[in-house]
Amino acid sequence: MSRFARTLVLAAAALAGTASADTLTFNGTADDFLKIFISTDLSSPGPVAFDKTSGWSSVGTTTLNLQPGQSVYLLIDANNAFGGPAMLLADLSLSGETLRFANGLTTLTTDTTHWQVSEVGFSSPLSTPVSMGQNLPGLQIWGAFSPVSSDATAIWAYNADWSTGRVGHAYFVTQISAVPEPATALLWLGGAAVLTALRRRSR
């Protein structure tokens, strides 16, 4: 094995020994309540990971442990309990090296690009959510929520005002995908270097 390949393998082993757990931090609100699920299967959300039972005027924050290197769905059941328009508004972040949001980053806000929604259930046909405005002064009805990123968009399953809003749930879905750990990437590079060295010797 070449000196370069040995260096890569040793570096990979060192990184593998210092890898930290992945966590998801959620910061947001819904009109009126929300529940968060983390699942590998849309048809089986599993237990509630976070239950925000306070109303839309309060922002809920939680940090959830994730399995490193395991792709999952982030599922949010937003419940509009009292009529009128409804919204989900949040910013999220990931810590750790093995997971990324649907935008390829470790941060994500609610938007109409990286989220999907259904009024029936998580495993039902999903569609693009409706934007009700960015989290800035003048955001219709609710106004800006300063604890949530100003980049976040208030989204819902349908377009509504006070006269056409309806009571019910909206089921939001976005994906968190596994990416190669640094140790895995270095081991792959080390293996490639070994194969290259062997091929050169065979010639």
Q: Are residues 182 and 97 in contact, defined by beta-carbon separation less than 8 angstroms? A: yes
Q: Tell me: pLDDT of 184 over 50.
A: no
Burial 144-168 (b: 16+ CB within 10 A, else e): bbeebbeebbbbbbbebeeeebeee
* Mean pLDDT for the chain overall: 86
Residues 113-139, mean pLDDT to the nearest whole number? 97
pLDDT for position 36: 98
Spacing of C-alpha 4 from chain mean position: 37
pLDDT for position 192: 52
Measure the CA–CA gap between 34 and 160, rounded to whole angstroms. 19
Q: Where are the domains of the chain?
A: 1-19+181-203, 21-180
pLDDT for position 8: 43
pLDDT for position 141: 87
pLDDT in tens, 3-28: 554 554 444 444 444 456 899 999 99
Residue 33 pLDDT class (50, 70, 90 cuts) = very high
Could you tell me whether strands 107-109 and 50-52 are parallel, antiparallel, or unpaired per DSSP bridges? Answer: unpaired
pLDDT for position 175: 98
